């Protein structure tokens, strides 16, 4: 089957001034005046199937009251042309007397309309009782764009419930008249892909919302895979734990393996919950919890990396204490140009100018200051310039 279609939606919208306006696509395109030309063009294309429906809000004028004038004309002409319609009975809107999709009586009245249509056009086989149920409910009752113009989960679920019930009742009513009827359901095939990892949870929620139920998870298989992953990651954590403080790279590797290990634990816990309770929201909730647990450690790692890049003063080095200690070293008269910075993770560097006191020996003072700096403070690399008292005046900075 290869078919085309004529857009026939007719929702109501609320204008800025608070009034309600119906947007009838058949009217906007001039179809009510030029429907013969439209059908002739379809025939010229060589198409034998057409997805098309009468304007429900115009036909169903009241409880068990119908105006078939336009419908008889268009479906009669389609029959003459040999074009088989796929009947679209409801496309995004309701008659004014039914108000909107929050009305609990709507499904029963719509089923009566479907039965009356099938009885009047008993030769027709293909039906789409309600077009795009999910989109209808979403746009009308959660986005607040159409019909009831509401925006809440309760309104969305109510509209969805009534639309689904109306669709089922309409199919039953049609089959009661036309047992050989074939139903071609039309629904939004939208699927949300997360652009970043941070958007994954929201994308999963939007995808699951189409069915108001998260997809079934193979809990047993998931737990076996997580168990194997846990053993591997436990061994990795054991290997990296002792050396994680040696460098930023090792710490990053350790945190990565640790996060994988915690994820495996979370998957196992979620698997047990889903296996015993069938509550499939456990998986994303525990995943979010693991992410929150790892976040502080990620911040620490990032901050250390920034300290290295900016050559910040090491947190564990007190320059004033170090300066006072150098002044106590025998043979040291003064200290200037004292600097310390992070050279790389776990390696702090220092440079200093030391002024000799009197006739102190250069080599002895150099050895003493180096021993004091590296022995009493977390400095791994020290550059010490030893100079006589009158040398500092020749330098460009003090």
**pLDDT higher than threshold 90 for residue 115:** yes
Task: Report pTM.
Answer: 0.52
To the nearest 10°, report the CA torsion of 220, 225, 227, 230.
Answer: -150
Cβ contacts of residue 293 below 8 Å, gap of 6+?
Answer: 262
Residue of 273, 268, 267, 295 whose CA lies nearest to 197: 295
- Quote the mean pLDDT of the chain: 87
- Asked if residue 98 lies in contact with residue 153, where contact means CB atoms within 8 angstroms, the answer is no
Cβ contacts of residue 362 below 8 Å, gap of 6+?
Answer: 356, 386
Model pLDDT for residues 287-343, shown as the tens digit of each residue: 777 777 777 777 777 777 777 777 777 888 888 888 899 899 898 889 898 888 887
Q: What is the mean pLDDT of residues 154-181?
A: 94
- Asked if residue 329 lies in contact with residue 360, where contact means CB atoms within 8 angstroms, the answer is no
Residue 398 pLDDT: 47
Residue of 343, 367, 351, 366 whose CA lies nearest to 319: 351
Please give the Cα distance from 76 to 324 (Å, whole number): 104
**Token pair of 380 as six digits:** 């791994």
Model pLDDT for residues 48-98, shown as the tens digit of each residue: 999 999 999 999 999 999 999 999 999 999 999 999 999 999 999 999 999
Residue 152 pLDDT: 92
**pLDDT higher than threshold 80 for residue 246:** no
**pLDDT higher than threshold 50 for residue 154:** yes
Residue 210 pLDDT: 59
Lowest mean pLDDT among 16-25, 75-84, 257-266: 257-266
Using alpha carbons, list the distances in angstroms from residue 382 to 70, 245, 312, 339, 357: 95, 21, 16, 10, 21
What single-letter DSSP state applies at residue 97?
G
- Residue 316, phi then psi, degrees to nearest 5: -90, 15
- Asked if residue 133 lies in contact with residue 160, where contact means CB atoms within 8 angstroms, the answer is yes
Bridging pattern class, strands 84-88 and 126-128: parallel
- H/E run at residue 339: strand 332-344
Model pLDDT for residues 171-214, shown as the tens digit of each residue: 999 999 999 999 998 887 677 888 888 888 888 887 776 555 45
- Residue 45, phi then psi, degrees to nearest 5: -75, -10
Q: Which of residues 259 and 165 earns the better pLDDT score?
A: 165
Q: Which of 146-155, 267-276, 305-314 has the highest mean pLDDT?
A: 146-155
Q: What percent of the chain has pLDDT over 90?
A: 45
Domains in the chain, CATH or no CATH each: 3-189 (3.20.20.80), 219-310 (no CATH), 319-394 (3.30.70.1350)
Please give the Cα distance from 118 to 134 (Å, whole number): 25
Q: What percent of the chain has pLDDT over 70?
A: 93
Q: What is the largest CA-CA distance in the chain?
A: 121
Lowest mean pLDDT among 110-114, 120-124, 328-332: 328-332
User: Residue-wise over 353-382: b if at least 16 C-beta within 10 A, else e?
Assistant: bbbbeeebeeeebbebbbebbeeebebeeb
């Amino acid at each position: 089957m290869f078919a085309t279609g004529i857009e026939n939606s007719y929702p109501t919208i609320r204008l800025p001034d608070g009034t309600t306006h119906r947007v009838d696509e058949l009217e906007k395109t001039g179809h009510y005046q030029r429907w013969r030309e439209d059908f002739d063009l379809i025939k010229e294309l060589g198409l034998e199937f057409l997805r098309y429906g009468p304007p429900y809000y115009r036909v169903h004028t009241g409880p068990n009251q119908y105006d078939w004038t336009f419908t008889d004309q268009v479906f009669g002409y389609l029959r003459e042309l040999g074009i088989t319609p796929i009947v679209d009975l409801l496309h995004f809107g309701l008659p004014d007397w039914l108000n909107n999709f929050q009305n609990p009586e709507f499904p029963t009245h719509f089923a009566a309309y479907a039965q009356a249509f099938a009885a009047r056009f008993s030769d027709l086989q293909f039906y789409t009782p309600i077009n795009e149920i999910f989109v209808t409910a979403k746009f009308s009752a959660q986005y607040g764009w159409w019909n009831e113009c509401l925006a809440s989960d309760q309104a969305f679920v109510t509209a969805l419930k009534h639309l689904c019930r109306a669709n089922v009742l309409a199919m039953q009513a049609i089959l009661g008249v036309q047992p050989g009827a074939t139903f071609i359901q039309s629904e939004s095939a939208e699927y949300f892909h997360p652009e970043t990892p941070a958007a994954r949870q929201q994308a999963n929620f939007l995808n699951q919302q189409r069915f108001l139920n998260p997809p079934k998870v193979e809990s047993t298989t998931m737990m076996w895979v997580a168990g194997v992953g846990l053993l591997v990651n436990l061994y990795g954590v054991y290997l990296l734990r002792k050396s994680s403080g040696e460098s930023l790279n090792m710490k990053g590797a350790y945190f990565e393996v640790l996060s994988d290990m915690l994820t495996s634990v979370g998957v196992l816990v979620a698997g047990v919950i889903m296996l015993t309770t069938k509550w499939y929201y456990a998986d994303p909730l525990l995943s979010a919890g693991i992410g929150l647990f790892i976040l502080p450690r990620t911040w620490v790692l990032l901050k250390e990396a920034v300290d290295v890049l900016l050559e910040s003063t090491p947190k564990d080095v007190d320059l004033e204490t170090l300066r006072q200690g150098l002044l106590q070293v025998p043979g040291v008269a003064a200290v200037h140009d004292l600097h310390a910075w992070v050279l790389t993770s776990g390696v702090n560097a220092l440079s200093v100018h030391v002024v000799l006191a009197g006739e102190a020996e250069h080599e002895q003072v150099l050895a003493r200051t180096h021993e004091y700096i590296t022995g009493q403070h977390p400095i791994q690399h020290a550059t010490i310039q030893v100079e006589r008292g009158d040398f500092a005046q020749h330098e460009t900075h003090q």
